[in-house]
Amino acid sequence: MVEEILRVEGISKSFGAIKALSDVSLILHKGELLAIIGDNGAGKSTLLKIIAGVYSPDSGKIFLEKKEVKFKSPMDARKAGIEMVFQDFMLCPDLNVTQNVFLGREIVSGEFLNYKLMKKILKEKLKDLKFDIPSIEKKVRFLSGGQQQMVAILRTLMFDPKVLLLDEPTANLSAGASEQVMNFVKQLIKTKMIGGIYVAHDLNAIIRYSDRILVMRSGRIIAEKMPEETNPVELVRLMRL
């Protein structure tokens, strides 16, 4: 775990009078799953959204593979290889799995959507990722919460991201589904050697799955812990100090 894939330097962001982030810096390495924890309103989602090009920072810099990047939109960030799974899945329930996966990035041949080709590419991707989903032609509304979360993640993987940002990917899932999602994410990050940042509240799962833990409080990173050297009691104490 040596090579840096993403670096954030001195990011600050205010929303009116609210200082959501103050001088936040972090480094993410290839093949690393970094967890960010903190109480509600600590600034976790804002930080991920800045990295993903949803918001622009008031100050600070972002480097992807050691080159500075300035994103004007999430599309810019996606083109550069940064993908985010949002706190709410943002899927279209009445579209099927394939349509959701290619939403906004549909493959067009001439004037028409090439649905057949999208299906073919998706099937190959599923095979490559060893990913199990009931039917790629099923409407997303008929899938379980865990399956929907997997579709949301799958959507970010179609274009081989360098950095994957996951904002509470298991918040609404059963214990079994959470485990399935996190095992998949962890394995993906290791086999593809991408960088992952994951925000969550389940401290036991964080200790189990992450390679490193950053603790945020009131818009700042206030501690860094290795999972094998900490425990949920200490983490809660740090979050609340």
Interface residue list for ligand ATP (CB under 6 A)? 15, 18, 20, 38, 40-46
Look at residue 96 and give the partner it binds from ligand ATP, Mg ion, none, a contact being a CB closer than 5 to 8 Å depending on partner kind. Answer: none
Look at residue 15 and give the partner it binds from Mg ion, ligand ATP, none, a contact being a CB closer than 5 to 8 Å depending on partner kind. Answer: ligand ATP
Look at residue 20 and give the partner it binds from Mg ion, ligand ATP, none, a contact being a CB closer than 5 to 8 Å depending on partner kind. Answer: ligand ATP
Does residue 46 touch Mg ion according to CB under 5 A?
no
Among 218, 212, 149, 220, residue whose Cα is nearest residue 185: 149
Residue 99 and residue 9: Cα distance in Å, rounded? 37
Non-local CB neighbours of 143 within 8 Å, separated by 6+ positions: 97, 134, 151
CB 195 → Mg ion: shortest distance, Å? Answer: 20
Does residue 45 touch Mg ion according to CB under 5 A?
yes
Task: Tell me whether residue 167 or residue 211 sits nearer to Mg ion (CB atom).
Answer: 167
CA 84, distance to chain mean position in Å, is 4
Does residue 147 touch Mg ion according to CB under 5 A?
no
What single letter denotes the amino acid at residue 110?
G
Task: Tell me whether residue 87 or residue 114 sits nearer to ligand ATP (CB atom).
Answer: 87
What single letter denotes the amino acid at residue 29?
H
CB 218 → ligand ATP: shortest distance, Å? Answer: 9
CB 84 → Mg ion: shortest distance, Å? Answer: 12
Task: Tell me whether residue 118 or residue 182 sits nearer to ligand ATP (CB atom).
Answer: 182
H-only helix segments in the chain:
44-51, 74-80, 97-101, 115-129, 145-157, 175-192, 203-209, 232-240
DSSP 8-state class, residue 88: S
Using an 8 Å Cβ cutoff, are 195 and 168 in contact?
Answer: no
CB 240 → ligand ATP: shortest distance, Å? Answer: 13
Does residue 170 touch Mg ion according to CB under 5 A?
no
Which tokens hold the place of 63? 């480097």
Task: Tell me whether residue 30 or residue 44 sits nearer to ligand ATP (CB atom).
Answer: 44
CB 46 → ligand ATP: shortest distance, Å? Answer: 3
CB 43 → Mg ion: shortest distance, Å? Answer: 8
Among 99, 209, 73, 202, residue whose Cα is nearest residue 154: 99
Among 20, 6, 14, 4, residue whose Cα is nearest residue 164: 6
Task: Tell me whether residue 36 or residue 143 sits nearer to Mg ion (CB atom).
Answer: 36
Task: Tell me whether residue 18 or residue 117 sits nearer to ligand ATP (CB atom).
Answer: 18
Binding residues vs Mg ion (CB under 5 A): 45
